[in-house]
Amino acid sequence: MTTVTVKINASANDGYTEGNSTDYSDAHQNAVSASDGVELYIGQDYISDKHIIRRAFLKFDTTSIPSNAEIQSASLYLYGLSDYSTEDFTIRLQKWTGDTPIDTDDHTQYDGVNYDDGTFNTQNFVVDGWNEIVISNFNLIEKEGYTKICVRHDKDVSETPSSAQSSVRVGSYDWGEDYAPYLEITYTVPTVTVEISASGDDGLVYGESDSYSTAHDTATGSDSTGKYLNVGQQSRRGIYSIVRTFLKFDTTSIPTNAVIESASLYLYGYSDPPTKDFKIRLQKWTGDTPIGTEDYTQYDGVNYDDGTFDTSGMVLEGWNEIKISNFDLIEKGGYTKICVRSEDDINHTPPAQAEENDVAMFYSYDGNHPPYLEITYTTAAPPPKHPITHLDKGPHPRSRMTFYPRLSL
Number of C-beta neighbours around residue 48 at 10 A: 9
What CATH number was assigned to the domain covering residues 2-189? 2.60.120.1200
Distances (CA, A) of 142 to 7, 58, 148, 184, 200: 15, 13, 8, 14, 41
Q: 270-283 pLDDT, tens per residue?
A: 999 989 999 999 99
CA 363 – CA 245 distance, rounded (Å):
11
Lowest mean pLDDT among 35-39, 67-71, 130-134, 388-392: 388-392
Per-chain mean pLDDT for the chain: 91
Q: What is the pLDDT of residue 91?
A: 98
User: Which is more confidently placed, 333 or 2?
Assistant: 333
Q: Work out the average pLDDT over 328-337.
A: 98
pTM equals 0.66
Q: 368-382 pLDDT, tens per residue?
A: 899 999 999 987 654
Three-class DSSP category at 257: coil
Single out the residue of 222, 274, 265, 268 nearest to residue 243, CA to CA.
222
290 cis-preceded (ω within 30 degrees of 0): yes
pLDDT band at 367 (very low <50, low <70, confident <90, very high): confident
Q: Where are the alpha helices (DSSP H) in 233-273?
A: none
CA 350 – CA 353 distance, rounded (Å):
9
User: Does the pLDDT at position 37 exceed 90?
Assistant: no
pLDDT band at 36 (very low <50, low <70, confident <90, very high): confident
User: Does the pLDDT at position 404 exceed 50?
Assistant: no
The ranges assigned to domains in the chain are 2-189, 193-378
Q: Work out the average pLDDT over 171-200.
A: 92
Number of C-beta neighbours around residue 1 at 10 A: 8
101 cis-preceded (ω within 30 degrees of 0): yes
pLDDT band at 389 (very low <50, low <70, confident <90, very high): very low
